[in-house]
Amino acid sequence: MCFKSCHLRREKRAASTESANSDKAKITKAAFDQIENGMTYDEVKNIIGGEGELLSEAGNKGEQFHAVVYMYEGEAAGSNASFTFLDGKLQVKGQYGLK
């Protein structure tokens, strides 16, 4: 059984996740409006200024129907934007509360 050591590992993972999330780029409405369908993730990252959080991935990179969804937090509490890429190209974007 694993008690104290498992608890410590969970705390380290949680702290690591919080640190990683604080390092993520924040998105503004102005940046969101510059992003267009057909762009690559690298193009989107360049506009926003950094990596987003990978929410989901289906299929294998380089193969047909590889889909990924990234999320960026906005500056305002609860605001965010998500981007869905299929075969390396942006297909769907959405936002909530960006300013």
Is residue 87, in this structure, part of any structural domain at all? yes
Of the candidate ranges 18-22, 51-55, 56-60, the one whose mean pLDDT is the lowest: 18-22
* CATH at residue 46: 3.30.1450.10
Is residue 86, in this structure, part of any structural domain at all? yes
The model's confidence at residue 44, banded by pLDDT at 50, 70 and 90, is very high
Rounded to whole angstroms, the maximal C-alpha distance in the chain is 52
How far is it, in rounded angstroms, from Cα 53 to Cα 17?
Answer: 11
Is residue 88, in this structure, part of any structural domain at all? yes
Q: In this predicted structure, what is the pLDDT of residue 17?
A: 46
Of the candidate ranges 19-33, 58-72, 75-89, the one whose mean pLDDT is the lowest: 19-33
Is residue 21, in this structure, part of any structural domain at all? no
Is residue 4, in this structure, part of any structural domain at all? no
Domain that residue 45 falls in: 26-96
Is residue 31, in this structure, part of any structural domain at all? yes
Q: Which is it for strands 67-74 and 26-27: parallel, antiparallel or unpaired? A: parallel
Q: What is the pLDDT of residues 79-88, one digit of tens each?
A: 999 999 999 9
**Is the per-residue pLDDT at 21 higher than 80?**
no
Tell me the mean pLDDT in the region 25-46. Answer: 98
Is residue 10, in this structure, part of any structural domain at all? no
Asked whether 40 and 89 are in contact (CB, 8 A), the reply is yes
Q: How many domains does the chain have?
A: 1
Model-wide pTM > 0.85: no
Asked whether 23 and 17 are in contact (CB, 8 A), the reply is no
The model's confidence at residue 24, banded by pLDDT at 50, 70 and 90, is confident
Asked whether 69 and 88 are in contact (CB, 8 A), the reply is no
Is residue 19, in this structure, part of any structural domain at all? no
